[in-house]
Structure 1
Amino acid sequence: MTLDFRFDVKATDGAARTGTIAMPRGNIRTPAFMPVGTAATIKAMHPQAVRALGADIVLANTYHLMLRPGAERIAALGGLHKFMNWSAPILTDSGGFQVMSLAKLRKLNENGVTFQSHIDGSRHELTPERAMDIQRLLGSDIQMQLDECVKLPAPDSEVERAMLLSLRWAERSKKAFGTQPGHAIFGIVQGGVSVPLRCASAKALVDMDFHGYALGGLAVGEPQDIMLATIEATVPQLPATKPRYLMGVGSPDDLVEAVRRGIDMFDCVMPTRAGRHGLVYSRFGRINLRNAKHADDARPIDPLSPCEAARIYSRAYLHHLVKAGEILAMMLLTEINLAYYQCLMADMRKAIEAGRFTDFSAATKETWQRGEAMKVSSSSGIASQDI
């Protein structure tokens, strides 16, 4: 392992913790939320604006970038940071999840997976070695092993088969990663919602000694309480000295509850995707600006938000932009959502450091409830009510 990746825990409050991941391109304050820049862009946002909202790191996707414009092309143009004008750390996922969910006519075997592009039908092969080669060409700071993510529910035998294959791929991924000063590789714990399988996966990955560990294969259809129980059982199997990353999660409530259980890093398309569809996350819960009742509402989203867009534009104006299909609606609502997510993470860091995370969580949820907050997690996908 290189000496230029360091994780320091600053404070704990129960299982919740706050700290810093130090890397050559900058520090990552944890708990951290990584905006998702699938194709080397946070949709509807300038990179500088994303950074100004408080993001220390963003995520980009190996599968999408290998297909278009191509990892070799990005490398020839100076690497992903230069290509997308983002100087802070970047994490790239391995592309395994997208292959399973997006690709056409995929075929899985011990060596890897062959598939047809969802863009043009061209054929490709993704192996652990190729996944790491692509991420090396991109120049991402944190790289993920290739794994197989099974959609839930699935038979235990299928979940175990995928978990064991992912472990064998983890060994090959780590070997292919080699020595990359200034860069890190994370292993991915699999095993569905089976506690014995999750624990076995975690133990084997810890023995391989990765820089950090991710929990993959959650928020893929299981209820929130099952997801949280799986996290609670898995986290103690991971070393306290390494960061823990919950992949693809989630709603504000998911983030609070996962941090309570010891998770340090998150990514999710929820805030950016919601912003493009007229939905806002705020201190008062989720606001559906498509609803006609906002047409005459002169109030801003949140007069106390540090995000200017949340303070200076009326709900009536934002409702009008959404109904008119204006691009500005997507831009403003995406900014408001990402600002709220970063504020939520910053507030959790402060609460943990002050030893008042439980009080903070209760007060935050009470405010969501008073504002008729959405009672939904990313894993269920169904809102009980919107304001």
Structure 2
Amino acid sequence: MTQPFSYKLLAQDGAARLGEIATPRGVIRTPAFMPVGTTASVKAVFLDDVKAAGSDIILGNTYHLMLRPGAERIAKLGGLHSFMRWDGPILTDSGGFQVMSLAQLRKLTEKGVTFRSHIDGAMYELTPERSIEVQNLLGSDIQMQFDECTPFPATFDEAESSMRLSLRWAERSLAAFAQYGRPGRALFGIVQGSTFPELRRESAAKLTSMDFHGYSVGGLAVGEGQRAMFDTLDFTTPLLPTNKPRYLMGVGTPADIVGAVERGIDMFDCVMPTRSGRHGQAFTWAGKLNIKNAAHIEDLRPLDETSTCPASRDYSRAYIHHLFRSGEYLAPMILSWANIGFYQELMAAIRKSIAEGTFADVAARVRAVYPSTVEDDAGADAEAARSLKSK
């Protein structure tokens, strides 16, 4: 467990980057999609199946785990990896987004945020120092600075104030990481500034001068729509170091992912694969499929005959449709598994195409079956934001 954290750029196709992130618990192939394991569980999917699908890393949530079962308890039980039976890398978010979106009676100050738990009403305080302490008690391999996720829409003044607060918290997060961190673990800074270029430039410049292990673009996929998100990435991603990983938080749809990869992003996470699976929606190479539709009642075809994932390849649409109609627990399990499989197949195809210089072909294939309009994008991003709040 002593191998240092590092990023290696292996190839580029335009701005799209093929790389590897080395961690003490294994290599993360990038571009990478991280299934969300909010409360030490990727909802409705066995972690053995998550790994077999090709996932190198998963995400855990600081806010939820500090409330239940508690960071100190998880540390006492051997840490998050042992607790949930996952031996690969884990990234934990800082908990800031959930505090702002889920907690009751919250109060934001320079020190941090005090809030009432949405679970039992108990009062808590989350500061940059406590967030980093919790993440280290959990034992995550990649940790995030504590920040304020700027809501959308925000005025310039609101976004500026929020961004500068996050910068001050970034400095305190680094100091706490120096105190609590262990060899091989990494801390990422989070670039904020809403959709304002000058604020993103200031945030990126000051964060890169602090020399984090990696950088995230935060405050997107919160309702601004795909076009605004891509425009923001166009002027933000080039400001980030080329020798460190770049992470777009909370994204997203297949079209979002290929568009962000085109703009130099390396890492993604979203609850969409498992959340959609629990509600009867499958992602396939032919597009989205609503398995609850009556058209599937006697359809013996698999979800996707081209898939290498057993969930997509080995169960008939008729059977999965029946399971949903019968209210069987197995229904969301199969579909969530299948969606994790599709997302990892998508990332594998993206990585292969970058190595071969054919990324544009994969991007075109994805857009052909996952088209979007500006109006649809805004609705999809708002839905993604709502789903993140439900983590």
Could you tell which deviates more after superposition, 182-191 or 317-326?
317-326
Question: Secondary structure of the equivalent of 2:22?
Answer: strand
Do structure 1's residue 120 and structure 2's residue 120 form an aligned pair?
Answer: yes
Q: What are the within-5 Å matches in structure 2 for residues 1-387 of structure 1?
A: 4-178=4-178, 179-368=181-370, 378-381=380-383
d(CA) in 2 for partners of 1:313, 1:161: 52
Question: Secondary structure of the equivalent of 2:231?
Answer: helix
Structure 1 unmatched runs, 5+? 383-387
Q: What is the deviation of 1:132?
A: 0.4
d(CA) in 1 for partners of 2:94, 2:370: 35
Report if aligned partners of 2:3, 2:23 keep a CA contact under 8 Å in 1.
no
Q: Provide TM-score, normalisation by structure 2.
A: 0.94
Report if aligned partners of 2:3, 2:24 keep a CA contact under 8 Å in 1.
no
Q: What is the deviation of 1:376?
A: 8.2
d(CA) in 2 for partners of 1:362, 1:130: 44
Structure 2 unmatched runs, 5+? 385-391
Report if aligned partners of 1:224, 1:377 keep a CA contact under 8 Å in 2.
no
Q: Provide TM-score, normalisation by structure 1.
A: 0.95
Question: Secondary structure of the equivalent of 1:60?
Answer: strand
The one-character-per-residue Cα deviations of 1:117-170 (angstroms, maximum 9, x if unpaired) are: 000000000000000000111110000000001221122211111100000000
Question: Secondary structure of the equivalent of 1:33?
Answer: strand
Question: Secondary structure of the equivalent of 1:263?
Answer: coil
Could you tell which deviates more after superposition, 45-54 or 235-244?
45-54
d(CA) in 2 for partners of 1:375, 1:227: 10
Q: What is the deviation of 1:221?
A: 0.5
Aligned residue pairs, count: 377
Report if aligned partners of 2:225, 2:378 keep a CA contact under 8 Å in 1.
no
Aligned to 1:385: none
Question: Residues 359 and 377 from structure 1, CA distance in 2 versus in 1: closer, same or farther, beyond 3 angstroms?
Answer: farther
Report if aligned partners of 1:147, 1:188 keep a CA contact under 8 Å in 2.
yes
Code of the residue aligned with 2:191 in structure 1: it is: V
d(CA) in 2 for partners of 1:235, 1:323: 45
d(CA) in 2 for partners of 1:163, 1:33: 26
Q: What is the deviation of 1:295?
A: 1.4
Q: What is the deviation of 1:292?
A: 1.5
Report if aligned partners of 1:145, 1:188 keep a CA contact under 8 Å in 2.
yes
d(CA) in 2 for partners of 1:312, 1:49: 14
Question: Residues 270 and 376 from structure 1, CA distance in 2 versus in 1: closer, same or farther, beyond 3 angstroms?
Answer: farther
d(CA) in 2 for partners of 1:139, 1:381: 31
Question: Residues 3 and 307 from structure 1, CA distance in 2 versus in 1: closer, same or farther, beyond 3 angstroms?
Answer: closer
Report if aligned partners of 1:6, 1:21 keep a CA contact under 8 Å in 2.
yes
Question: Secondary structure of the equivalent of 2:381?
Answer: coil
Runs of 4+ with deviation above 3 angstroms: 374-378
Code of the residue aligned with 1:341 in structure 2: it is: Y
d(CA) in 2 for partners of 1:216, 1:376: 17
Question: Secondary structure of the equivalent of 2:343?
Answer: helix
Q: What is the deviation of 1:375?
A: 7.6
